[in-house]
């Protein structure tokens, strides 16, 4: 028995409520006392399996391990984080589960989602489709997976990240949505944006035109698209990137703090913007700009 295995056994014999063994180098756990409600064994790269889980378990975090299969999950489980493991299949999910994180695994399909689930994070998996989302779901992350379509979105959803997928269109967006990331997808249009939207990233897509932007939008990233114009910008907008687009003209709101427009606006227009707004609004242009613009901007700074 190694010193780490001995330390683990001594800890288990104390019947703890919280089992945190992230510092140990072990390949397995011999048993877990029924007293345990929280298990934290994340980051143990040598850990290959878990024993039977206690009936009272509420939180299981086994991310960044070499676990290939999960044991039966107790009905009491509320939070499950098995991200960045070698798991290829999830067991049946407990009805009380509220948060599921299985990103960075080889999972190919998702079992039925419990009605109480609030957060689902399944990015960078092999999932090609998602089951029906429960009405309780508020956060959905599925970026970097070979998804070809999204299911109907629940009305309470406020966070949707489906970047770098094969998705070609979006379902109706809920009015509660605050964050929307659809960058690096095959989406060509967005029908309507909810008024509650706070941040939108549609960069690296084939979008030609955006609908009317929400009044409370703070961040807009539409670089590397086919956009040629932007309708009325939000008066609360703080950050915008429309680099590598056909946009040549835009009205800046007083709230703006960050601007990136590489290879979009012509050089003279940008210099005028700098002269008019740089002191008041601290507008910044990213340093990956044409050499000519850098030289002219430098001369202007020296002579102002």
Cα(168)–Cα(156) distance, integer angstroms: 23
Cα(79)–Cα(83) distance, integer angstroms: 12
Judged against a pLDDT cut of 90, whether residue 254 lies above it is answered with no
**pLDDT at res. 133:** 95
**pLDDT at res. 270:** 57
Residue listed under structure tokens 């049946």: 92
pLDDT category, 287, cuts 50, 70, 90?
A: very low
Cα(191)–Cα(134) distance, integer angstroms: 23
**pLDDT at res. 264:** 76
Asked whether residue 240 is domain-assigned, the answer is: no
Judged against a pLDDT cut of 50, whether residue 232 lies above it is answered with yes
Higher pLDDT among residues 285 and 84, named by residue: 84
The tokens of 11 are what? 């800890």
Cα(219)–Cα(178) distance, integer angstroms: 11
pLDDT tens-digit series, residues 85-111? 999 999 999 999 999 999 999 999 999
201 DSSP β-pair partners: 181, 221
Cα(256)–Cα(239) distance, integer angstroms: 6
Asked whether residue 6 is domain-assigned, the answer is: yes
Asked whether residue 295 is domain-assigned, the answer is: no
**pLDDT at res. 249:** 78
Judged against a pLDDT cut of 60, whether residue 15 lies above it is answered with yes
Asked whether residue 154 is domain-assigned, the answer is: no
Cα(168)–Cα(165) distance, integer angstroms: 9
Asked whether residue 242 is domain-assigned, the answer is: no
Asked whether residue 279 is domain-assigned, the answer is: no
**pLDDT at res. 292:** 44
pLDDT tens-digit series, residues 23-61? 999 999 999 999 999 999 999 999 999 999 999 999 999
pLDDT category, 265, cuts 50, 70, 90?
A: low
Judged against a pLDDT cut of 50, whether residue 295 lies above it is answered with no
Domain count, the chain: 1
- Pick the closest to residue 257 from 287, 205, 219 (CA basis): 219
**pLDDT at res. 300:** 41
Cα(88)–Cα(109) distance, integer angstroms: 9
Task: Give me the domain span that covers residue 101.
Answer: 1-127
The alpha carbon of 287 is separated from its chain's Cα centroid by a whole number of angstroms, namely: 26
Asked whether residue 108 is domain-assigned, the answer is: yes
Higher pLDDT among residues 173 and 232, named by residue: 173
CATH number at residue 38: 3.80.10.10
pLDDT tens-digit series, residues 162-214? 999 999 999 999 999 999 999 999 999 898 999 999 999 999 999 999 999 99
Burial 65-89 (b: 16+ CB within 10 A, else e): bebeebeebbebbbbbbbbbbebee
The tokens of 248 are what? 């040549």
**pLDDT at res. 282:** 47
- Pick the closest to residue 43 from 66, 13, 60 (CA basis): 66
Judged against a pLDDT cut of 60, whether residue 271 lies above it is answered with no
Judged against a pLDDT cut of 50, whether residue 125 lies above it is answered with yes
Asked whether residue 29 is domain-assigned, the answer is: yes
Judged against a pLDDT cut of 80, whether residue 266 lies above it is answered with no
Phi, psi of 302 (to 5 degrees): -70, -25
């Amino acid at each position: 028995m190694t010193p780490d295995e001995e330390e683990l056994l001594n800890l288990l014999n104390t019947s703890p409520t919280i089992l945190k063994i992230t510092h140990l180098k072990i390949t397995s756990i011999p048993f877990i006392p029924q007293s345990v409600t929280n298990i934290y064994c994340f980051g143990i790269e040598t850990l290959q399996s878990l024993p039977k889980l206690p009936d009272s378990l509420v939180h299981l975090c086994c991310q960044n391990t070499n676990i290939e299969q999960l044991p039966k999950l107790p009905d009491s489980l509320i939070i499950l984080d098995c991200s960045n493991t070698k798991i290829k299949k999830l067991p049946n999910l407990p009805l009380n589960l509220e948060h599921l994180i299985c990103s960075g695994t080889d999972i190919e399909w998702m079992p039925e989602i419990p009605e109480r689930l609030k957060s689902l994070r399944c990015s960078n998996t092999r999932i090609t489709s998602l089951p029906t989302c429960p009405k309780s779901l508020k956060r959905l992350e599925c970026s970097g997976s070979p998804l070809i379509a999204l299911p109907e979105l629940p009305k309470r959803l406020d966070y949707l990240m489906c970047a770098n997928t094969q998705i070609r269109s979006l379902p109706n967006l809920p009015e509660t949505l605050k964050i929307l990331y659809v960058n690096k997808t095959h989406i060509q249009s967005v029908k309507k944006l909810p008024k509650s939207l706070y941040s939108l990233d549609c960069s690296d897509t084939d979008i030609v035109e955006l609908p009317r932007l929400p009044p409370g939008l703070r961040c807009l990233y539409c670089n590397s698209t086919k956009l040629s114009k932007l309708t009325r910008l939000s008066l609360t907008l703080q950050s915008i990137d429309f680099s590598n687009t056909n946009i040549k003209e835009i009205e800046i709101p007083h709230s703006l703090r960050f601007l990136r427009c590489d290879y979009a606006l012509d050089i003279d227009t940008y210099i005028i913007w700098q002269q008019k707004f740089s002191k008041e609004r601290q507008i910044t242009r990213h340093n990956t700009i044409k050499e000519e613009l850098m030289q002219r901007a430098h001369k202007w700074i020296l002579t102002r």
